[in-house]
Structure 1
Amino acid sequence: MLLFVVATMARAEVVLVAGANSSATTLSKQQTADIYMGKATSFPGGGEIKLLDQPESSPVREEFYSKVTGKTAAQAKAYWAKLSFTGRGRPPREGQNSADIKHQVANDSKLIGYVEKSAVDSSVKVIYTAE
């Protein structure tokens, strides 16, 4: 049964969300990759970005990094560790789950995070769909 749940989650459509009232606009795949790999720290057109990650054990995290950056979640973590160690960046903060990430994003216009598309409601808006 657990295998079925994991397999189902791995195929879930993953979207990047911002709060419904955020000034964030739709992002391209490259912009999303640059943001989540620490190469961009603000929205196109300005405005600070703060990032949220799914928990390390989450299949959604693996799916997101694979589709957006072409890296595994472990490779992205190692990359962030290097940036952090050299003082060139701070890794995304980890949320507890999609509901927590959605709640945090909805209440802070600078935060963005990724969740399953099925978790989206009126408190957030989709700014990128991982394909």
Structure 2
Amino acid sequence: MIKRIFLATSLALLAHTSSAAVVMIGHPATADQLTKKQAQAIYLAKSKKLPGGMSVTVNELAAGDPIRTEFHDKVTGKSDAQLKSYWSRLVFTGKAAAPSEHSSAVAMKAAVAAKPGAVGYIDEADVDGSVVVLFKP
């Protein structure tokens, strides 16, 4: 019994410590480093430009993705249901266009790398030379 508890605890700790953190990424032409407040404003459509003045294009992972959940927990403080409601209201009133949704980190990275001003978020372990880290919550 004690061996099982020890094994379960060890595996839980290993799983928790081996995962990398979520990071907000941008197109390599974007040299801006963002604060949490700036990242939040971008992801809540309160800011449509990066600090350097470049227009921003927001990208999201699909609802239910654990990286999406972690990012929004740390940055916007909104759940998937709250985000859906929030963005529906913005789109309906014409205040913003809904972010593009991507099914994987690979698709997210490709979308961000393809368009100057594009932003997204992925697991830090997936960052490569095709994108730059703008913010790490």
What TM-score bracket applies, with the shorter chain setting the length?
0.7 to 0.9
> TM-score of the superposition, structure 1-length normalised?
0.86
- Identify unmatched segments of 5+ residues in structure 1: none
Q: Identity percentage over the alignment?
A: 36
Q: Which structure has the larger Rg?
A: 2
Structure 1 residue 110 displacement after superposition: 1.9
1:15-51 residue CA offsets vs partner (Å, 9 max, x unmatched): 011122x134100000000000010001113111001
Q: Secondary structure at the match of 1:52?
A: strand
Could you say which residue in structure 2 is the equivalent of 1:45? 52
| Deviations, residues 47-105 of structure 1 (Å, cap 9, x unaligned) | 11001100112011111111001111221221111111111111211012101111121
For residue 13 of structure 1, what is the aligned residue in structure 2?
A: 21
Pairwise mapping of residues 106-125 of structure 1 onto structure 2 (< 5 A)?
106-125=113-132
Moved over 3 A (4+): none
Change beyond 3 A, Cα 1:56–1:34 = same
Q: Aligned-pair RMSD on alpha carbons?
A: 1.6
2:112 aligned partner: 105
Given residue 38 of structure 2, which amino acid in structure 1 is its aligned partner? Q
> How many residue pairs end up in the alignment?
122
